[in-house]
Amino acid sequence: MDTRSEPTLDRLDAKAQHLLFTGARTANTFADTPVTDAELSDIWELAKWAPTSANSQPLRVLFVRPGPGRDRLVKHMNEGNRAKTASAPAVAVLAQDTEFHTHIPTVLPFRPELKDVFAGNDTMRTSTATFNATLQAGYFILAVRAHGLAAGPMSGFDAAGVDAEFFPDGRHRSILVVNIGHPGKDPWLGRLPRLPHDDVVQWI
């Protein structure tokens, strides 16, 4: 490959931008239409390309299907999130791996010694896990949308309860639960306003 050449990147057309951003909504009800295991696996195969610091990739995903697994999850959701979680054909529990650094020699082969730096610095390890897992969670929502499915992200749940239920060895800490499916009846609340451009963006 000629490393001196300057690559040209494609741009998403308006339809794709609508699917991922401008027209994408947070779903609150779901149709009975099933979501297949292949769709769920493919969602991760897209989301895994999210950039992370030191390529650390601390996010872990537990897909929960209808049945006893979903019942075990629903009881830890806040009251207002129970009905929608109980109706979602698939739910993802997103968690951070507190021992993500054990994979550093694999994911950052040119700097394997960073594993020991993380091992010896609890503050840096925890902040890296939290920040990057959260960043990956955002990409996960986009990947759900890219598959023509609606996402319903929720932080309203008892994280300690979910961790004890599904991650009893203490290594994984849940950060977000995401309902996944095709939208049901009256799936959207009214679109809430986004901050005006000038309240957010500065130029210098």
Ligand X SMILES: Cc1cc2nc3c(=O)[nH]c(=O)nc-3n(C[C@H](O)[C@H](O)[C@H](O)COP(=O)(O)O)c2cc1C
Residues forming contacts to ligand X in the complex (CB under 6 A) are 25-26, 81, 153-156, 176, 188, 191-192
Closest to ligand X by CB, 91 or 154: 154
Q: Strand 90-97 vs strand 172-181: parallel, antiparallel, or unpaired?
A: antiparallel
153 is written with which tokens? 């992200």
Buried b (16+ CB within 10 A) or exposed e, 120-153: eeeeebeebbeebbebbbebbbbbbbbeebbbbb
Closest distance to ligand X from the beta carbon of 75 (Å): 15
Q: From the CB of 141, what's the least distance to ligand X, in Å?
A: 7
Closest CB to ligand X belongs to which residue? 156
Whichever of 15 and 191 has its CB closer to ligand X, that residue is 191
Min dist CB 29 to ligand X, Å, is 11
Who contacts 139 (Cβ-Cβ below 8 Å, separation ≥6)?
A: 47, 49, 50
By C-beta, is 153 or 184 nearer to ligand X? 153
Least Å from the CB of residue 26 to ligand X: 4
Q: Closer CB to ligand X, residue 70 or residue 103?
A: 70
